[in-house]
Structure 1
Amino acid sequence: MRDADTAAGLGEMLRALKERAGLSYGALAGRLHLSTSTVHRYCTGDSVPAEFAPVERFGRICRADPEELLELHRRWAVADQVPPADDCPPRDATRTTRPTTFRLKVRSTAEDPVTMTAMDVRVLSAEAPPAGVTYADCQGADAQHSFAVDLDAPEPRAVSPRRGFPYQASAGTPLVLDVTTHTLKNEVRWYLELRWTQGPRSGTLRIDDGGHPFRTGAVK
């Protein structure tokens, strides 16, 4: 059975956002392309969406700020670690999520600073995780900027709780990013693309594991 407290925590925040925005269940349902009863169950904690995407859309419709979006993501991840019920598709009840954090340090190799304008998540594959595999964390205590990525979303995006891009990096002052990813269903192979500008020049920097994609997986 679902842990009522964790599901209720997500529902409580959804209700608070709904009330602050002054929207009815019917109005939200229409904009989310869901039934009114489904939206009501999300807000009462009786049901948890199988994907984060509808929760994120709910938050954006209710004008949630970046920090609130990250908190929604955290509450959804915690509530969704147990098997969903009601109108959500079944999952392997023994599979849970263990978020994996990757630390990125970006420096300018030229005298002038470089401006990072955006970061995109590129998924190469999502397959059933192999048995006996563990996934390491690379998180530290001095991250300047943190991002969360739901790899189960149809189009995964890096969501920051604070001010987002652009950021600057120089030769003496690197840009430090912590990217925390999670998946409940698969082993996902993915990489990042950082878009940058420096004066009249611009380009895209691929961030991966030494020429290989990063791997994040659900664990049993």
Structure 2
Amino acid sequence: MQITVQGRGSAAVVLEALHVRVVNRAAPAADRGSVYVLDDGCGAGITPRFFSVDLDAHQSLVRSMPGDDAGTKIPAIDFPYRVSLQEPEVLMVSALNESCTCDWYLNLDWSSQGRTGTVRIDDNGRPFRSTSTKGLPGYRYDRVYHQPGRWVPIPAANLSSTGG
């Protein structure tokens, strides 16, 4: 998921930490569907920060990861970050899980001008839901070999390389 963080005024806001809170873990349902890979498209003019969270772990932690922005290698740079109205940050969070269906949300801790707080990042008031993609059929949208484009199957062996 992509999270864009920006201050409301000219004062700097320091992003202190990002935490994951898993509120429910269950075995993946047998009828959970298919995997659709949505990695086609263009990025913005802001260099993102990359993070990963393993939802299968007993104590899930958000970890800074190296990334790739259109061929440019991005080093892993952990918190804190500074944002303002003119200087936003883009946080790219990859949630991975192979053995569970998990309900979860993120908490972003911040400080500015002597004040502190936490912003909950969720799905319009509800936790996000992620499930294992292990054993599911996968598809990607192909605009190169199929004009104007269509969903084509991904061989099961290649699903793990798509982040699924």
Tell me the TM-score normalized by structure 1. Answer: 0.50
1:106 aligns with 2:10: no
Matched residue SS, 1:120: strand
Helix, strand or coil at the partner of 1:160: strand
Deviations 1:164-214 (A, max 9, x none): 000011112221000011111111110000000001110111011111111
Q: Is the CA contact (8 Å cut-off) linking 2:97 and 2:132 kept in structure 1? A: yes
The answer as to 2:87 corresponding to 1:187 is no
Aligned residue pairs: how many? 119
> Match for 1:150: what amino acid?
D
Q: Distance in 2 between matches of 1:135 and 1:209?
A: 20
Structure 1 stretches lacking a partner, 5+ long: 1-101
- Deviation (angstroms), 1:132: 3.3
> Could you tell me the percent identity over the aligned residues?
33
Q: Which of 85, 100, 106 is matched with 1:171 structurally? A: 85
Question: What's 1:87 paired with?
Answer: none
Do residues 120 (structure 1) and 19 (structure 2) align? yes
1:213 paired residue number: 127
| Residue identity in the other structure for 1:177 | L
The residue aligned with 1:42 is none
Asked whether 1:129 is paired with 2:28, we answer yes
CA distance in 2, matches of 1:215, 1:141: 25
> Do the aligned partners of 1:115 and 1:198 also contact (CA within 8 Å) in 2?
yes
Unaligned runs of 5+ in 2: 66-75, 136-164
TM-score (norm 2): 0.66
Does the CA contact (< 8 Å) of 1:135 and 1:216 recur in 2?
no
CA distance in 1, matches of 2:33, 2:18: 28
Change (3 A) 1:208 1:136: farther
Distance 1:155 1:215 in 2: 17
Q: Which residue of 2 aligns with 1:201?
A: 115
RMSD (Å), alpha carbons:
2.0
Q: Where do residues 90-105 of structure 1 align in structure 2 (5 Å cutoff)?
A: 102-105=1-4
Q: Post-superposition shift, 1:114? A: 0.8
Compare CA radii of gyration and give the structure with the larger one.
Answer: 1
- Aligned equivalent of 1:155: 59
Residues 116 and 166, structure 1, Cα contact 8 Å, conserved in 2: yes
Separation in structure 1 between the aligned mates of residue 11 and residue 103 of structure 2, nearest angstrom: 34
Q: Work out the CA distance in 1 between the residues paired with 2:93 and 2:21.
A: 13
Give the partner amino acid of 1:189.
D
Q: Relative to 1, partners in 2 of residues 1:159 and 1:188: Cα closer, same or farther, differing over 3 Å?
A: same
Greater relative contact order (CA < 8 Å, ≥ 6 in sequence): 2
